[in-house]
Amino acid sequence: MSSKRYLVPVLLAIVLSESSPSLPHLIHVNNPTNLIFTVNGRLNFSNLANHEKKRVLDIKFYEACTITVFAKFAIEDNQFRANYVFLMREAHRGTKHSIFILISQVPNQHVMSILYRFEYRLPLRLFVVDLKPYLNSSNLPYTLEMEWLFFCIFCKDEFIPISYNVNIKVMTLRMFQVHQWRNDVSIAAILPQKFKPNRICGKGQYYITSLRENCNIDEMKYLAVGDILNITFLQFPDSDWAMYNWGYFHQDLMHSEYFYKDLNMLYSFRYEGHHAIYCNFNVWSENSNLGMWMSPFTSLVWTSCALILVTLVILRVLKDVVECGNIAVNFELIKNLGEVVFAIFATFIKQALNSKHLSKLVLVPLLFTSFMLLSQYELFLTTNLVIPPRYEKYLTLRKVFANDYILVYAAQSQEGNDLLSITSLLQQEYKQKSLGNFPHDKTIPIRHSWTNLSAYVTKHTPRNVVLHKSKDKALHFFLHLQNRLLTGQYECFRVYNIALNYVWFAIADTILRVEIGQGIKCLETGGFPHLWEQQLEHLSKVRTMKWPSMRVASPYISINTLSPFFNATGIIMVLLVVVYIAELISDERTRCRLVDGVRDFVTFVTISTSSALVKLCIYLGCKKVRRKKFRRK
């Protein structure tokens, strides 16, 4: 009600149960020119599903406040009152529209029994009018005596008699102090596993990083709201928190459907999903290995070149065999074969080389083909080495799959209790966005509980993308992978909310829902949740200071950059030495000299070893003889 002098729209609703169908249900006091407006008709809650599907308001009005009167109320009418409170849409407009008066003839000793369970959860102001009949002394019909009671849920004496006094027009806390406050008021909550009421997390956000205390954001919200309202949150296991008499406060609620009865309990809207972590192992400045040098051409091009080489070698071997007429091992044949292979390789790198064993009819097409291939090879390779392409960060699953990455995620072992597995949810999301068939061959669902996420993103599995639902754990895994395991040599990426994004709410099903909602709104307006997120991220980075930092791109070529090239060059030099030795062996005179040299060397080693052993035996024998003579003396 308004304390101003001029009139304001007020709604007085009189609601009757099925036992009193004759009186009107709603009386509107909307307009000074039309003080009373009566609406006839009964509220029907027989089909709750149809009631939820209504698209229009039950009652159209613009009142400043609402007083709902339940006439001739009895204990058996509580279910009707519950349906009215939860399903009538005008009953969800705040505390100004939650003033209820119960007019009842229940005996005085049973007044408390008219309470219902939701009295401890709804932010309403409840008055009870106790009608007591009594007889007059003048033998007139009995009249009714009214006693007004206010239901004070936080008082030990819940029903407080109200006696109107002209000096007291407003109920204050001083009026209820004489009845003493209850000390058992608490609210159920889902708190973190390591939650402690007196931890440093509740003493201000500036102590956390200095003491390296990891405080969950949900825990910070619970402590902040608890300090603002001076209330206590209790930890309850499993789903027992939803059945607590004083109600509950839950910060992470997600439903596929929302009902009208939930609208005035939902706060703190946010859009959050699963997060992706992956790394870029394809660093051009570090990839001077064999795979890098072969990357300009596809496997089909390299296979075609290899087939051409093998075909020419086979044809040359067959020609020499036919000319010699001997299939046995012929060193001259091997020498000719080596010249052919060397001439072909020289042609592919645009080096002119005349060989009597390679026909010009074959050499000219090879030279023309190698010119085009080598031009493309140099253009692609040198361009990417001088100016490496900028790595594209993939922000959607569609791009992840399109670039042949593999998605690794933790999947539930089974579905049930109206819960779908991550695989089913990903398929639904893929279908809803019209992205085609879900690529099952590019996913790896992990059926067990995983803690070591870094085992799935390594140099051996460079195209794996880990999908995780916890934002805090995703950040910790990202820093641990990039700075500790990979020592800052490769850049990793974290993409928040890449898939399975849903609407999340904080729900307060308690009598203090309005105050809790105001506290949450003040915290969000002040930017405290964002501040706490930044603080946790800063704390994670502080913990990684002892790990190697991210490698800075070098402006010059270092030995580390060229080490793979040196390894490849060393292998090539070894192969050239082997080829050179094979070429020497192919010459008969050189082969004879080499055999004679090896024979002479073996003879020299044998004679030298025998002579050394004889001298050693003679020396040791003389020592033994001298020792025996010394002992006899």
Predicted local distance difference test score (pLDDT) of residue 151: 83
Three-class SS state of 150: strand
Contact between 182 and 173 under an 8 Å Cβ cutoff? The reply is: no
Neighbours of 147 (CB within 10 A): 15
Picking from 334-338, 529-533, 622-626, which range would have the lowest pLDDT averaged per residue?
622-626
Checking if the pLDDT of 296 tops 70, the result is yes
Contact between 497 and 272 under an 8 Å Cβ cutoff? The reply is: yes
Q: What is the rounded distance in angstroms from the CA atom of residue 503 to the CA atom of residue 423?
A: 19
Q: Residues 554-564: what's their mean pLDDT?
A: 62
Span 367-393, pLDDT tens digits = 666 767 777 777 776 666 666 667 788
Q: Domain map of the chain by residue range?
A: 10-179, 284-386, 570-622
Pair of tokens at residue 454: 């870094």
Which residue in this structure is represented by tokens 């204050």? 172
Span 90-113, pLDDT tens digits = 556 677 777 888 887 776 556 556
Pair of tokens at residue 150: 């206010």
Residue 551 carries which side chain, given as an amino acid letter?
R
Predicted local distance difference test score (pLDDT) of residue 6: 36
Q: Residues 121-150: what's their mean pLDDT?
A: 73
| β 491-509/248-253 pair status | antiparallel
Predicted local distance difference test score (pLDDT) of residue 165: 62
Checking if the pLDDT of 38 tops 50, the result is no
* Exposure letters 8-32 (e unless 16+ CB within 10 A, then b): eebbbbbbbbeeeeeeebbbbbbee
CA 511 to chain centre: 33
- Sheet-wide strand order for 443-446: 233-235, 187-189, 248-253, 491-509, 266-280, 464-468, 406-410, 443-446
Contact between 582 and 334 under an 8 Å Cβ cutoff? The reply is: yes
Higher pLDDT pick, 213 / 618: 618
Higher pLDDT pick, 465 / 327: 465
Predicted local distance difference test score (pLDDT) of residue 560: 63
Select the highest-mean-pLDDT range: 196-210, 290-304, 321-335: 290-304
Q: Residues 516-537: what's their mean pLDDT?
A: 86
Q: What percent of the chain has pLDDT over 90?
A: 0
Picking from 371, 333, 357, 297, the residue whose alpha carbon sits closest to that of residue 306 is 297
Q: What is the rounded distance in angstroms from the CA atom of residue 101 to the CA atom of residue 13?
A: 10
pLDDT band at 2; cut points 50, 70, 90: very low
Picking from 61-65, 414-418, 613-617, which range would have the lowest pLDDT averaged per residue?
414-418
Picking from 340, 14, 291, the residue whose alpha carbon sits closest to that of residue 332 is 340
Higher pLDDT pick, 410 / 86: 410
Picking from 221-225, 299-303, 563-567, 593-597, which range would have the lowest pLDDT averaged per residue?
563-567
Checking if the pLDDT of 5 tops 50, the result is no
Q: Residues 172-184: what's their mean pLDDT?
A: 70
Span 429-448, pLDDT tens digits = 888 887 888 888 888 888 76
Predicted local distance difference test score (pLDDT) of residue 450: 67
Q: What is the rounded distance in angstroms from the CA atom of residue 562 to the CA atom of residue 581?
A: 29
Contact between 231 and 187 under an 8 Å Cβ cutoff? The reply is: yes
Picking from 198-212, 217-231, 493-507, which range would have the lowest pLDDT averaged per residue?
198-212
Neighbours of 167 (CB within 10 A): 4
Using CB atoms within 10 A of its CB, is residue 513 exposed (0-12), middle (13-18) or buried (19+)? buried
CA distances from 453 to 209, 473, 475, 521 (A): 25, 10, 12, 36
The beta-strand segments (E) located in 205-327 are 233-235, 248-253, 266-280
Picking from 84, 156, 163, 152, the residue whose alpha carbon sits closest to that of residue 115 is 152
Terminal-to-terminal C-alpha distance of the chain: 133
Q: Residues 551-565: what's their mean pLDDT?
A: 63
Q: What is the dihedral of CA 540, 541, 543, 549, to 10 degrees?
A: 140
Higher pLDDT pick, 140 / 81: 81
Q: What is the rounded distance in angstroms from the CA atom of residue 385 to the CA atom of residue 283?
A: 10
Q: What is the rounded distance in angstroms from the CA atom of residue 216 to the CA atom of residue 196?
A: 12
Predicted local distance difference test score (pLDDT) of residue 37: 39
Picking from 11-25, 65-79, 472-486, which range would have the lowest pLDDT averaged per residue?
11-25
Q: What percent of the chain has pLDDT over 70?
A: 58
CA distances from 499 to 258, 466, 502, 505 (A): 22, 12, 9, 18
- Sheet-wide strand order for 143-151: 37-39, 26-29, 10-16, 65-73, 99-104, 125-134, 143-151, 159-161
Q: What is the rounded distance in angstroms from the CA atom of residue 166 to the CA atom of residue 236?
A: 47
Mean pLDDT of the chain: 72
Neighbours of 454 (CB within 10 A): 16
pLDDT band at 34; cut points 50, 70, 90: very low
